[in-house]
Structure 1
């Protein structure tokens, strides 16, 4: 019985190793390098900058106005009536909270849009990788940054970059 189990285990190990050896067409691609070299990335960055330029300038204006009012309150606060100083402090706190809320919403919207555009570009890269891999008959394509060492795999980064451009 033990010999039978040992033989069955050895047979399974051999079958598994044979199936691993069957996938011998392996390629490597550097997705980060492709992403950095794409001219569309800079175009998208400028597009997003223009999209958020109005809100950014509004926030900068609010911030400078808030700083001016804070400096005025610090400078004139000791000579003001208590009721006027209290009113100015409350107005300043409300304005600071409004600025904080707008800044947080701006950051979230900006980050969300950047991720959307980044994912679009990465999707195009992924489609190009699939196209090159199927055209050249590769069984496995691995990101170069995910592997510590690969000895006999073809680097298809330039082919994918040509496909994406």
Structure 2
């Protein structure tokens, strides 16, 4: 039974490699380079920065206020009444928890939005790769970062970059 499975697996590998070898026109594209050179990437980065600027400023001021409260507690805690110190400690703990929750929500929202925008840009790049490949008649297009060596492959990065811009 094991020999039969090995033979079937070997047959599948050979069949799939034969289809790749049968591809007459193979091209490579450097998606990372295109992503870095896209003017839309910088515009999106500025848009996201503006989108989150208010929340970031608010978090920074909340952090500064929390630091001030903590310093006051350290500095004056030993000379305060026990009830005042307990109130201040409780206040500091509540502020710390609130800040932590807001900071975590901010990071998640920021990461989610960056992912959404990155996926939009990568979708545009992929559409441009498909357009260039079909226009020039390529059977297979591989990301140059995913390939160790490609001697006869045509690099279509510049063509795709022109298509995307």
Fold-level match, TM-score > 0.5?
Answer: yes
Corresponding residue for 1:112? 112
How many residue pairs get matched? 154
Corresponding residue for 2:133? 133
Deviation per CA, 1:22-49: give whole Å up to 9, x if none: 3120000000000000011000000000
How far apart are residue 15 of structure 1 and its match? 7.7
Rounded Cα–Cα distance in structure 1 between residues aligned with 2:14 and 2:82: 88
Runs in 1 of length 4+ with deviation above 2 angstroms?
12-22
The answer on 1:56 being equivalent to 2:56 is yes
Q: Identify if the C-alpha distance between structure 1 residues 158 and 26 changes in structure 2 by more than 3 Å, giving closer, same or farther.
A: same
Rounded Cα–Cα distance in structure 2 between residues aligned with 1:75 and 1:13: 71
- Is there any run of 5+ residues in structure 1 with no aligned partner, and where? 1-11
Give the SS at the match of 1:151: coil
- Is there any run of 5+ residues in structure 2 with no aligned partner, and where? 1-11
Q: Identify if the C-alpha distance between structure 1 residues 14 and 91 changes in structure 2 by more than 3 Å, giving closer, same or farther.
A: closer
Rounded Cα–Cα distance in structure 2 between residues aligned with 1:159 and 1:138: 13
Rounded Cα–Cα distance in structure 2 between residues aligned with 1:70 and 1:13: 64
- Which aligned pairs between 1:54-133 and structure 2 lie closer than 5 A? 54-133=54-133
Give the SS at the match of 2:131: helix
